[in-house]
Amino acid sequence: MKCIVLAGGFGERLWPLSRKNCPKQFMKIARGHSIFQDTIARNIPYCDEFIIVGNYEHRYIIKNQLEPFQGLSYRCIYERKPLKTTATIMLACLSLQPTELVFVVPTNKTIEAAGYKDTLMVAKERAKEGYVSILVEKQELSDSRYGYVTELDGELVRSYVEKPRQKLKAVYKNLGFLLFEDGVLFRELSQSLVKECQEEYKNKSVEEEGIVYTGNSITPIPIEKALLEKSNRLKAIQIKFNYKDIRTFEDLKGYKSKGLIVAKDCNNTEVINTSRCAVVMNGVNDLVVVNTEDALYIGKNGIGLKEILQKEELKPFSEKSRFFNRSWGSYEDLLEEPNYRIRKLVINTGETIYKHKHTKRCESWFVIKGLAKVTIEDKTRVYSVNDSVTALIGKAHQISNVGEIPLVLIETATGEILQDMVSIESKNLSEVDLGMFSEPIVKLKPALKDYLWGGKRLKEKYGIQTDMDVVAEAWELSAHPDGESKVSSGRHKGYTLSRYLKKAGNEVLGWKSAPLQKFPLLIKFIDAKENLSVQVHPNDDYALEHENQYGKSELWYVIDSMPGSGLYVGFNRNVSKEEVRKRVKDSTITEILNFYPTKPGDVFFIPAGTVHAICGGNLICEIQQSSNCTYRLYDYDRRDKYGNLRELHLEKALDVLNFDRYEVVEGNVCCKYFEVEIIDVVKEKLITVNDDRFISIICIDGKGTIEIDDYLLEVKAGDSFFIPAQEATLKIRGNMKIVKSNI
């Protein structure tokens, strides 16, 4: 199950605890961690991947708050401007498969664990039945701040009202949780909204921190208005757990203040003190007092803050706290005077504050925790706990964390101007550049696809765990944005393959791949229970011009085939564009295709431009260029379980087709894009690894171990491994059949 975490919002209600650059969802409210972190931790047992949706300006705080979750599988979506929840949820769901279960969770509540699992399991079952589950709490009277189910038939929602103006009796409060099958959501929403989001999805930009949307083509509308007030496929699941909405200071009862509070003869007064100063209250009633290091708020209970925070003179305090997040970590201002400043810096593992200098100030750093690699001008040294180092005025300097834990520094700056900085162009440093340990073998977890022609053999043969009804494809080695493999071993566990490659550095690709703009290979398992569409792939020139991705030549290794199974590959005679167009229209296209019966062990090479189709009954390992560019000619007029026809691409297909008679050459395992070797391992196989290229190893049958220099991992059927470029000997022991691929 995928979990969409709604982490947007600016949290003005809890100022000065929350600020624009650190709103309430990221405040450390729950036992020393934030509501956002609490939301992630609570759902880890139930969800295999998290999709975090937030504001673009909060990308660094999200990155830093995810650091403690080692091995967590996640990706981030950022909005340049608030898009409202309908678009937010749809844009996250467009990257998922139609039968995947999706759990949408807010980050404005603290929740007790007891009863949460039981509630979630009921909601999950209703989602599997084709409904959208919402979590509700029965209440005597409505509140205009929330939405309510006003009429129920068992669990079926007959009427829903968002933020009713009049008081309603015996209602069910919507808590903001949704659970549904991905395909059900798109069936229930307005198709005009769906098309807007599809257009926005096509125009997404990809940055290091995640996918970014501008929202220029989106109509902002809350999910309550677009779905809950209109759908007749809602099931209301009454909660079995206790929770608290965090909206006002009164909701923060029990918040642990670090500063001293002394109160005498005070009634109905809430005091929060996060500063080093003491707060003394004497004989006051009905107040809220919030004291921080740089701002003090005193007000009556229940009075809003929004209007007063608009005052211009308050903006330096309402928008920024003393704590700042950066791509490399974070810093906290401890003390600042006109000619000196003291800060606490936290640099995450493998991150760098890149080269810069100051013309008006000098800086010194004292290492409190971790290992710092510091370069000043042309001198580099590693510093450890209790060491100190100074960069004088005008001296270029750079600091990296080369340890296994966050690096903590106390920085002092002195000079006539404390804000000056001159950036110096420098190379992005990978972990290899920093001299950090890099695992010689990286195990991967596949991205799964549930196309309508797929079956269940991949789940049965390779033990793939998923909520999907079927698994049509498992992308075993992929850095393609349409479906990335995930690292499932070592220090980078949970990273997408592209994130791992960026972190580890181009050196792991080898010099043959390092100059390429994108990762060159995509390897997948294909379980064809039914026929795949008749299709063709473009070559590089056409694909780069029209699709902004590589073309697609591919190789098929037949793992298994049912009696009578086969493949369509190429035309059985010379044909014309006009004839192909006519035969697609009258559903006779397969009459002019070569049909080749298949058996386990067969190998077929399919160059770009060759018409082809995998027929039902085949289980195949496909090695291809890293491209998801497929032009469908014909799809048998099939509809998926949600009643949708798949899009055809006739004109583009006709642009790239090779219309000549095709003679298949079986057993071809080498082309300019990749080399493939099928290896039977009996007891032991030694494979030489060089620094010019990476290697992919996929086990299709059997079990054993894989090892480089005493770094050993277990291997079973279905496992996929990325072997970084290096000078080493790969030892594979056991009895198994593997597919070895490289460029």
Residues 6+ apart with CB under 8 A from 209: 59, 60, 62, 63, 76, 78, 327
163 sits in the region (left: phi over 0; alpha: psi -120 to 50; else beta) called left
Assigned token pair, 73:
């599988």
CB atoms within 10 A of CB 711: 13
Which DSSP string do the residues of 649-696 spell out, in sequence order?
-HHHHHHH---SB----BT--B-SS-EEEEEEEEEEEEEEE-TT--EE
d(CA 682, CA 693): 25
Q: How many residues does the chain have?
A: 743
Residue 105 near residue 5, CB atoms below 8 Å: yes
| CB neighbour list of residue 692: distance below 8 Å, 6 or more residues apart | 510, 511, 512, 725
- SS3 state of residue 720: strand
Tell me the β-bridge partners of 195. none
Question: CA 229 → CA 126, 318, 346, 393, 730, distances in Å?
Answer: 19, 36, 46, 63, 59
Q: Is 19 a catalytic residue?
A: no
DSSP code string of 9-44: ---GGGTTTSBTTB-GGGS--BTTB-HHHHHHHHHT
Verify cis geometry, omega within 30 degrees of 0, for the bond prior to 406.
Answer: no
Query: CA 150, CA 136: separation in Å to the nearest integer?
Result: 11
Of the candidates 426, 391, 409, 397, which has an alpha carbon nearest to the alpha carbon of residue 348?
Answer: 409
Say how many C-beta atoms besides its own lie within 10 A of residue 206's C-beta.
10
17 within 8 A of 274, measured Cβ to Cβ: yes
3-state secondary structure 322-364: CEEEECCEEEEEEEEECCEEEEEEEECCCCEEEEEECCCEEEE
Q: What's the half-sphere exposure (Cβ side, CA atoms, 13 Å) at 307?
A: 2
What is the 3 state secondary structure string of 254-299? CCCCCCCEEEECCECCEEEECCCCCEEEECCECEEEEECCCCEEEE
What single DSSP character describes residue 645?
A: B
- The DSSP secondary structure of 554-598, one letter per residue, reads EEEEEEEE-TT-EEEEEESS---HHHHHHHHHTT-GGGGEEEEE-
Residue among 322, 313, 374 nearest 343 (CA): 322
Catalytic option among 126, 632, 661, 733: 632
* Rounded Cα gap, residues 608 and 611, in angstroms: 9
DSSP 3-state assignment of 433? coil
Element housing 121 (H / E): helix 116-128
* Identity of the amino acid at 187: R
For tokens 């004109």, what's the residue?
651
| CA–CA dist 128, 149 (Å, integer) | 21
- The closest of 658, 660, 667, 563 to 618, measured between CA atoms, is 563
Q: Going along 305-463, which residue ranges are E strands?
A: 323-326, 329-337, 340-347, 352-357, 361-369, 372-376, 379-383, 388-391, 397-401, 407-415, 422-423, 442-445, 447-449
Q: Which residue has the tokens 């950066």?
A: 326
Pairing of strands 361-369, 407-415: antiparallel
CA dihedral 25, 26, 32, 38 (to 10 degrees): 50
Q: Is 192 exposed, middle or buried (0-12, 13-18, 19+ CB in 10 A)?
A: exposed
Q: Report, as residue numbers or ranges, the catalytic residues.
A: 632
